[in-house]
Chain A
Amino acid sequence: MNSRTFAIALLFFMLPGQAVGDDADIEALVAELEQVKGRLAELEQLRQRVRTLEARLEEANRTATSGEMDRSDVALASDSTAPEPEPPAIDIGGALRFTTFANGSVKGQRGKSGLDLFRLSADGSIDNILLSAEYRFYPFMDTIHHGWLGYKFDNESQLQAGITRVPFGILPYASHNFWFGVPYYLGLSDDYDLGVKYVLPNGPWNLQLAFFKNSELSNSGDLGRYSYDVVSAGTARNEETNQFNARVAYTFGEGTTCSHEVGVSGQWSELYNVDTEKRGDMWAAATHLDTRCGRWNFQLEAAQYDHNPVNPAGVGANRIEVGAFESIYEIAPGGTVGIANVAYNFPLSGDILDQLTCYNDYSVLYKDGGGDDSILNTTGCAIGIGPLFIYADLINANNMVFFGNGSLADGGEDDWDTRLNLNIGYYW
């Protein structure tokens, strides 16, 4: 309480009080008043002392925290932007998504009208130790999306161990739309397996080397997984093991408004047949171009792959079964994949939309053994509104799995199927 406040309190205390009637009372009050004055003086001295100590403490704190602070360090205080608090080392995130679609039949389980998924994730680093993990709950299954621990070296390279993304083709996605493109359904894009991966960025170069012991789940027959792998849940009963990946990319015009990433990728793995207990193999190779010029993005990729399983007698070598999302289907054992995507990011000035990116993603599979090509062409827009992220896609598919009687293996039907898909997600 400062002296003024104290005096006011005393005054209010005195005024309504009993009248004072004799000299003794007066003398007592005057003496008391003198005491109060003395006390006020002491309080004032104390206040000055506290003020000095506070100033010194503030100075000491500043010296300890900021070292030499230059006048130039006039921060953003006058811009009404207070310094942001230190972000937590590990960021816990998640998403709640709903999806709906129209005009088309769905044989698989990758989304139905209603809840799409609920997921939780953790990403961050403590010193040089890196962590990234995501677990997903779908209405029909729950599974790990990825989960790895890493170490970041002084040269910015990092080693990741766990269930991590396979470095192949255009990264992180060889598409813009929610339903991906053909490579995803062949296990050649956004694929996650269990192993170690080394990532070395070096100026315009980016090198990734990886070894995967097997696919993301130890049980190769478990279809409750996010990314497509060769699985042992069907009649051929093969599983991926001992997979090697190498991907190198070079970016022209890095740091400019028009950059072009070109890259090549290679993949080789064993295909272990559970019944014959023999090892076949598979390989894949790709070359890609990912151009970001102004607000445009052009993606081109060409890939080839081949599977050589050692199936039991009576099971043809042309039977390659891949699975995920609690479903399984056949793909052509070998083929050529083509991707041609274009996207445009619109300028925005209002307060509502944070992102509006529209695109057309085209992908095709030419099957080595003949048969109708499988084609996916998706036109749509991705819309960001604060924490909401919406995909609105018009998908046209020809002989594509999950669309009518389409198939990624031989057979199927040469018929176009159209679907309108809307996915609304709340991300945090």
Chain B
Amino acid sequence: MNIRLTIAAALFGLLATDAAPAESSPETRELTVVSWGGAYTRSQIRGFVRRFERERGIDVEMIDYTGGIEEIRSQVRAWNVKWDVVDLELFDAVRACEEGLLVKIDPSSLPPAPDGTAADRDFLDGSLLPCAVGNIAWATVIAFDPEAVERAPRSLKDFFDIRRFPGNRGLRRTPKTNLEWALIADGVEPDRVYSVLDTDKGVDRAFRMLDRIKPAIRWWAHGEDAVRLLETGQVTMTSAYNGRIDTANGDGASYEILWDNHVRFRDAWGIPKNGENIEAALDFVRFASSTESLAQQANFINYGPLRRSSLEDLPAELLARLPTSESNLSRGFDTDAAWWSEHIQDLQVRFEHWIERPFQVPRDWPSR
């Protein structure tokens, strides 16, 4: 053999060894799992990550991020994948899946419920994507301080009725949830919300409804801000993440949650393609989405497991505070992640325009 070919073959061998995804997971010593940080990541660590490390002999490095799929896209396309497993908002998981950034996950490979129910029947509907496995649901709810209102709101419509329920309103600065709520408060049935929003007239209708409370809206961006608006009396009621309100109540506050038409969001595990530890990552996802793991996590944060079997052994008091409990499920609806993934860009632009445009005759015009 020509010596040059020999060396080339040797180097190709070296290349091949290096390029092959380390589906040789038995050698995997460390797994990088990306999640949302803070109390949420702590609930995952205490719920199942430590147990996974002990049982599998693999170190799990938890890294925080703030969502989105840009980093995943960048890593996958560069074939330089540093994130083995990512906790994605379902909305992002749909996009990443469609872009081919995630590894396919066969639902039949997921562990069944303790009673043998197959995973695809144990998970709540819509929780399993071709390349992502749902884990928890969290909710955007209406929260209020009962001592700060003359009478307690009973429904979403009351939130939009400033005349009968005076006072400022807190809302997250995003079209998501706000447009759905506006239509529901205007009489649209929750199951028709997205079909109405599919039309320009429907979007106009939602913004007209938001117009009615616009002067009273105080915008927030982070979950903590919503609680602060209540604490400081800047609003009489606000949209908020249910976990944040529970945490505040645990710290001594006494806010009430209105579950009427709460909007549920889901998170899902995804595995970026072209990684070096795909087998180990799949093993982690299977472990993390088991009945026991999800139930354990719920003990440390009030977000609802997406497996029915995980809810069975939880105490009733805790169940009442979870978005996925039987009693709360019927009072809210799931955000349509696929719909938002298609429309978010256009609606975000319009929403920001709408915020910037004054509703009332402005007080402060450019000085003359």
Contact = CB atoms under 8 A, between A and B. Distances in A.
A11 B64 contact: no
Interface in A43-75: 51-52, 55, 58-59, 62, 66, 68-75
Nearest to B235: A255
B224 A389 contact: no
Interface string A15-43: 10101100001100100010001001000
Interface stretch (A194-202, A228-236, A351-359): A351-359
B61 A55 contact: yes
A210 interface: no
A52 B247 CA distance: 32
A267 to B, nearest CB: 21
Nearest to B349: A351
A73 B223 contact: yes
Majority-rule SS of A interface residues: mixed
B14 A73 contact: no
B361 A296 contact: yes
Given A72-B138, A255-B166, A347-B211, A11 B8 contact: yes
Contact of A257 (B89, B213, B363): B213
A178 B360 contact: no
A319 B167 CA distance: 52
B157 to A, nearest CB: 16
Give the interface residue-count category, chain B.
35 or more
Nearest to A290: B363
B7 A19 contact: no
Contact of A71 (B3, B36, B92): B36
Give the interface residue-count category, chain A.
35 or more
B184 interface: no
Contact of A55 (B14, B32, B208, B212): B32
A77 B364 contact: no
Interface of A: 2-4, 7-8, 10-11, 14-15, 17, 19-20, 25-26, 29, 33, 37, 40, 51-52, 55, 58-59, 62, 66, 68-81, 83, 95, 134, 145, 172-173, 176, 178, 180, 190, 253, 255-257, 259, 292, 294-297, 343-345, 347-349, 351, 354-355, 357, 359, 382, 389, 391, 425, 427
14 contacts: A2-B18, A66-B38, A70-B39, A73-B38, A74-B36, A79-B344, A81-B352, A173-B365, A176-B365, A257-B212, A292-B361, A343-B361, A345-B360, A359-B361
Q: Nearest 6 pairs between A and B by C-beta? A: A71-B40, A72-B223, A72-B241, A297-B361, A69-B38, A77-B67
Given A11-B12, A51-B32, A78-B67, 8 more contacts: A55-B32, A69-B36, A71-B138, A73-B37, A75-B67, A80-B348, A81-B173, A257-B214
